Amino acid sequence: MNNVYLSIGSNIGDRLSKLQQAVKLLNSIPGTEVKKISAVYETAAVGLTDQADFLNAAVQIWTKFGPEELLSVCQDIERQLERERTVRWGPRTIDLDILLYNQDNIETERLTIPHPRMRERAFVLVPLAELNRELKEPHSDRLYRDLIRKAEGEVRLYREAVDVSTFLELTE
């Protein structure tokens, strides 16, 4: 099994419900199991800033899928949850990004892992470091938690971390 970390976020509609639906869909895929989920954080948009705040979290999954297959799985979940890709960094019902895949460095036409902008974004690094304080960048051996103070954006706790089954039952 491959040890993978994903970032999930939403800023349209019932944001918490969209995160929960994404986790449920991930967990329903044969050969994939959501092992842990971080707390949920509320953050202002990055890039295109004139939009609603996001809810963000990170999840650790174990999966049989290779990186390209997993990207397709994530994009399929985004389609199921009605994500529309009309404006770069624009509002979205759901966003799933592969942050880390084992400790591999991967670069293809469709995919770069570690995620190329994750070290710049507090909304990614804070929940990721919460899941595993000892995670290191594959190419530099620097701890991700040490990169948080240089990352962009304020991160506000929205919901405390709980186990996956409890997370799936939370309400706004």
Q: What is the CATH number of the domain that holds 93?
A: 3.30.70.560
Confidence at 89, pLDDT banded by 50, 70, 90: low
Task: Give the domain range for residue 111.
Answer: 2-118+154-167
Amino acid sitting at position 116: P
| Total residues belonging to the chain | 172
Say how many domains are in the chain: 1
Confidence at 49, pLDDT banded by 50, 70, 90: low
Q: Say whether pTM exceeds 0.85.
A: yes
The alpha carbons of the chain give a radius of gyration, in whole angstroms, of 15
50, 88, 97, 159: the active-site residue: 97
Residue 83 a catalytic site member: yes
CB-facing half-sphere around the CA of 57: CA atoms within 13 A: 27
14, 85, 95, 117: the active-site residue: 95
Closest CA relative to residue 166, chosen from 16, 14, 66, 12: 16
Residue 119 a catalytic site member: no
Task: Name the residue with higher pLDDT: 93 or 91.
Answer: 93
Residue 156 a catalytic site member: no
50, 85, 92, 159: the active-site residue: 92
